[in-house]
């Protein structure tokens, strides 16, 4: 019986020693192969931050851009000229798009009313599904798609 206990303790000691060596090997692995975006994707510490990389990225929680912090869906994100904003809703969600431009007379070139479903071009108060207003000539082109239902 004493020999059995010695064997169990011996193998338990070998197991603990191997476990410690394995843990030490994991703890002292090399640093990442480079800095984002020059190291392999998925490697710890190499995934690009939100402002680097061309792959689509998802951010949970609040978002800070420069000094702008967006905490909820009721806040706005401001974009400078000559840039694009791409909105893609997740499943079973809705996207609202609106325009606001500061001007002396309070007019804006485009208003989308999320609750009224009306679109205005050149007016701040569209009364129909599509209202186009201009001080000069209004040119409009309506085309029928080439495909058939």
Per-residue confidence in pLDDT tens, the chain, 149 aa: 788 888 888 999 999 999 888 887 776 666 655 555 566 666 666 665 665 656 666 666 666 655 556 665 555 555 555 555 555 556 665 555 555 555 566 555 555 555 666 777 777 777 888 888 888 787 777 776 676 55
Helix, strand, coil distribution of the chain in percent, nearest 5: 15, 10, 70
117 Cβ contact list (under 8 Å, min separation 6): 129
For residues 46 and 34, is the Cβ–Cβ distance under 8 A? yes
Distance CA 97, CA 86 (A): 11
pTM, rounded to two decimals: 0.25
Pairing of strands 130-132, 119-121: parallel
């Amino acid at each position: 019986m004493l020999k059995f206990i010695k064997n169990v303790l011996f193998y338990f000691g070998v197991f603990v020693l191997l476990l410690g060596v394995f843990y030490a090997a994991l703890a002292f692995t090399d640093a990442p192969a480079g800095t984002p975006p020059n190291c392999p994707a998925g490697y710890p510490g190499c995934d690009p931050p939100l402002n680097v990389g061309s792959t689509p990225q998802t951010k949970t929680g609040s978002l800070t851009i420069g000094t702008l912090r967006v905490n909820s869906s009721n806040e706005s994100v401001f974009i400078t000229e000559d840039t694009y904003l791409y909105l893609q809703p997740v499943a079973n969600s809705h996207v609202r798009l609106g325009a606001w431009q500061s001007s002396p007379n309070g007019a804006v070139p485009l208003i989308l009313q999320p609750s009224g479903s009306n679109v205005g071009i050149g007016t701040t108060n569209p009364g129909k599904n599509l209202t186009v207003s201009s001080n000069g000539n209004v040119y409009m082109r309506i085309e029928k798609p080439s495909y058939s239902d």
